[in-house]
Chains A and B, each alone.
Chain A
Amino acid sequence: MSFDLNFIGILIGAIMASSVPLILAASGELITERSGVLNLGVEGMMIIGAISGFALMVVTDNLFFAVVGSMLSGLILSLIFGLLTQSLLTNHVATGLALTIFGIGMSAMIGKNFVGIPGKEFPLLFLNLKESIPFLGPIFFGHSIILYFAFGLPFLTNYFLKKTKTGLIIRAVGDSPTSASNQGINVTLVRYSCILYGGAMCGLAGAYLSLIYTPQWIENMTGGRGWIALALVVFATWSPIKVLIGALIFGGITILQLHMQAVGLRIPVQLLSALPYIMTIIVLVVISRDSRKIKLNTPTSLGQIFYKEK
């Protein structure tokens, strides 16, 4: 059997594509968590982004509006979360859960009239290069602009958190809101901004699914990706570059699982589909065993309510 290098290239390209929603959502959530806020509504914001993007694409026939709209809708949903957790001081875990339940219900309500409508072709860049260069072509070219953005995002996020003053402020707020507040930093404002940014990124992740990856609207189409993105942040011990690596591993499992099914291996389909979830658990166990390592990077005030007496 000849070793088809080009096929491997296509496979890697597919793995990259399937990891995009995870990278986007996890990078957004990472910033949110770095500021000390735990938003479990990722799945809800993603699905709202998916339906808003798709609906806007159908209604306006403009992909730019669709993408921007999906980010806005994720942002609006995260604003609800912000209002509750930051202004009304509610419990982060419960509020995030409510956001997911609400988002899934709302998306199905909005999406009722959009089921079964075919998607529009999303422009892919450098298609000629993809075809003309074997192996490397399908890896580096022929993707959507969102994929290139997603692969740059972890590096930008890393730079932002470690080298800029704003990044330092966000980390300070996450690690010790009280001292940050005493330094004259408006903790609530910083946290609001991080929540909204996270929401916009989750919305974009959803739009990638409904506009590019699956190009159509299916009820509940995020299928737990939001939760995997949340797990990825822990997996990455809150480091953006590791988010990229983790997302590629999970993308790899997803694609591998699809190919194993296509090849017709005598393994139950359901076992293969369960692999990403089982892997998540195993990885979490391996990562969390060393509690010192986790503590080193975990935002100290993660999930805690901050209240400043006025």
Chain B
Amino acid sequence: MEVQLIKIEKRNDVSRSIYFLTPVLAIFLTLFGGGIIFYILGFNPIEALKFFFITPISDLYGLSELLVKATPLCLIAIGLSFCFKSNNWNIGAEGQLIFGGIVGGGVALLFYNHDGFYVLPIIILSGAIGGMLFAMIPAILKTYFNTNEILVSLMLVYVAKLLLDYLVVGPWSNPEGFNFPETRQFSESARMPILFDGLRIHAGIFITLITVFLSWLILYKTYLGFQIKVSGLSLKTAKYAGYKGKTMIIIVFMVSGACAGLAGVGEITGPIGQLHRNISPDYGFTAIIVAFLGRLNPVGIIFASLIVALTYLGAETAQIFLQVPKYTGQVFQGMILFFLLGSDYLLFFKIKFLGLKKNEL
């Protein structure tokens, strides 16, 4: 005789509290999974997790570093949320970040001998435009040639990386730099103002916060935001309603490209201060996880960016104290996304524990 202990039912409506609780569940499951991995590697899991998630932010400097890393992550993820909400898969934000950095950095080098309040805004603006133009390549190819945007945007990441490499080794390399693959240090007026002495946190955080606010306005209070949402839910409905699909694809790519470009320019004028080969530790890719973890919601993304930024810091600390490679951060990032997507099952399905009734036995 077969006795059913568990019954799975489809939910008719998605519960809002579970919608924002599953990310928390995913984080706990990730900690658990990470503990197991550390145990297999021969570490005390509690100790290792402490090094990973608590040690890095136990002082003021650590907290400032957390914000330094969350600033670009949050910014890129906000931009990506425009794309993902409307079912456009821009996964080449890393390339758009680098290209924005290249354009912004080029302008910064151009203004090498200039001083003035106008220098930094021009650099920031050009970085945003750079990222935006680079994101328009996959968007235009998608709209006019029906090309898969996932692959094109990703291929362009490699192109941008190689272009940066070419520039810092060749024409833009520091003339007094002993052939190191890096440009000159930018002048003081081309740098983001530092907020507190001795810490690296810089004015870029305001750009991020303003962008968060603006995107909340656009996504939730304007007709454009409504169109983006509808196209994401059902392309057929959007077409029926007469929304201009092609224009919208280009707009969402422009927004996310500009955000990634801003993040790139924030990095080079903020903590880095010049161009070199590695201006981003894969922020553009990690931001995809941030966007999902934050449920494509501006406020959610702020929290998500802080948590994911912590995996970067944790990986650095663990590298020093536990001698594990800094890629460990990516293991955690991958796990967060696995668990998050997996626990979404709870959103759409109810699991009922029936138990054994006496008369069934």
Interface residues of A (CB under 8 A from B): 40, 80, 83-84, 88-91, 93-95, 97-109, 112, 219, 224, 227, 230-231, 234, 268-271, 273-274, 277-278, 280-281, 284-285, 288-289, 291, 294, 309-310
Contact = CB atoms under 8 A, between A and B. Distances in A.
Contacts of A93: 89, 150
B305 interface: no
Given A103-B334, A277-B158, 12 more contacts: A94-B288, A98-B334, A98-B338, A99-B334, A101-B289, A105-B334, A107-B327, A109-B324, A109-B328, A112-B325, A273-B162, A294-B146
A104 B330 contact: yes
B170 interface: yes
Contacts of B89: 93
Interface string B243-258: 0000000000000000
Interface string B304-333: 000000000000000000001101111111
A112 B323 CA distance: 9
Interface string B36-63: 0100010000000000000000000000
A100 B150 CA distance: 14
Nearest to A103: B334
A289 B145 contact: yes
Contact of B333 (A105, A230, A281, A285): A105
Contact of B325 (A90, A91, A109, A285): A109
B151 A219 contact: no
Interface in B70-92: 89, 91
Q: Is the interface of A mostly helix, strand, loop or mixed?
A: helix
Nearest to B171: A268
A297 B329 CA distance: 39
Given A102-B330, A104-B330, A109-B331, A270 B163 contact: yes
**B contact residues, range:** 35 or more
A107 B41 CA distance: 13
B194 to A, nearest CB: 32
Q: Is the interface of B mostly helix, strand, loop or mixed?
A: helix
A284 B341 contact: no
Contact of B147 (A100, A230, A285): A285
A277 B159 contact: yes
B324 A112 contact: yes
B31 interface: no
Given A285-B141, A288-B145, A108 B159 contact: no
A105 B328 contact: yes
B341 A95 contact: yes
Contacts of A219: 325, 327
Contacts of B288: 94, 97
Contacts of B337: 94-95, 97-98, 101-102
Nearest to A87: B345
Contacts of B141: 281, 284-285
A83 B163 CA distance: 39
20 contacts: A88-B342, A97-B91, A98-B338, A100-B334, A101-B330, A101-B337, A105-B328, A106-B331, A108-B328, A108-B330, A109-B41, A231-B148, A231-B151, A270-B165, A270-B166, A274-B158, A277-B158, A278-B159, A285-B145, A288-B145
Contact of A90 (B324, B334, B342): B342
A277 B286 CA distance: 22
Given A97-B337, A227-B155, A271 B166 contact: yes
A159 B37 CA distance: 42
B158 A105 contact: no
Contacts of B162: 270-271, 273-274
B19 to A, nearest CB: 15
B147 A105 contact: no
Interface in B151-209: 151-152, 154-156, 158-159, 162-163, 165-166, 169-170
B152 A284 contact: yes
Contact of B170 (A97, A102, A268): A268
A153 B165 CA distance: 37
Contacts of B114: none
B275 to A, nearest CB: 14
A268 B169 CA distance: 10
B112 to A, nearest CB: 24
Nearest to B344: A90
Contacts of A109: 37, 41, 324-325, 327-328, 331
A98 B327 contact: no
Contact of A104 (B8, B289, B327): B327
B292 interface: yes
B246 to A, nearest CB: 14
Contacts of B331: 102, 105-106, 109
B151 A234 contact: yes
Contact of A101 (B37, B158, B328, B333): B333
Nearest to A108: B327
B335 interface: yes
List of 10 A-B pairs having minimum Cβ-Cβ separation, nearest first: A102-B334, A105-B330, A108-B327, A98-B337, A105-B331, A90-B341, A270-B166, A270-B162, A101-B334, A277-B155
A99 B334 CA distance: 7
A291 B145 CA distance: 8
A91 B332 CA distance: 19
A92 to B, nearest CB: 10
B27 to A, nearest CB: 14
Contact of B146 (A97, A106, A230, A289): A289
Contacts of B10: 309
A294 B329 CA distance: 39
A11 to B, nearest CB: 24
B348 interface: yes
B169 to A, nearest CB: 8
Contacts of A99: 334
A84 B338 contact: yes
Contact of A234 (B148, B163, B333): B148
A84 B341 contact: yes
A294 B146 CA distance: 10
